[in-house]
Amino acid sequence: MREPKIISAIEPQPPKGIKYMLGDETWLPNEQRSPSRLHCEEWGNLGPMELDPEIKPNKVGFRVRTTDFLAPEGAIGFTSVDGVYYWTDTDQFGRTAGEREATDA
């Protein structure tokens, strides 16, 4: 596993909450893959614990707000450095795009 290469800052910066990458499904043919993106979840409550009263219930009744940030060319992951989020060229397992393709093939 190598150090990720920072590609650029994520603009605008993602909101606080849960963050993970979606898309670029390596097990599918290229033409069937969805765009690579950072997905963020902001929850209004977790059980009885109030987190953000401004977040209202969505269509199915959960108090969660989601935001997607499309990844630029070459970005397959993200990292935080001193509280600023950046796109990187490695995924959450430290693999490059080529290593992911070889592993998931």
As a whole number, the mean pLDDT across the chain is 91
H-type alpha helices, 1-105: 97-104
Are the CB atoms for 48 and 21 separated by under 8 Å?
no
Please list the ranges in the chain whose pLDDT falls under 50: none
Task: Give the pLDDT of residue 76.
Answer: 94
Rounded distance between C-alpha atoms, residue 25 and residue 65, angstroms: 24
Rounded distance between C-alpha atoms, residue 1 and residue 88, angstroms: 14
* Order of all β-strands in the sheet with 6-9: 6-9, 84-88, 77-81
Task: Give the pLDDT of residue 104.
Answer: 66
Task: Give the pLDDT of residue 15.
Answer: 94
pTM for the structure as a whole: 0.84
52 alpha carbon, distance to own chain's centre? 21
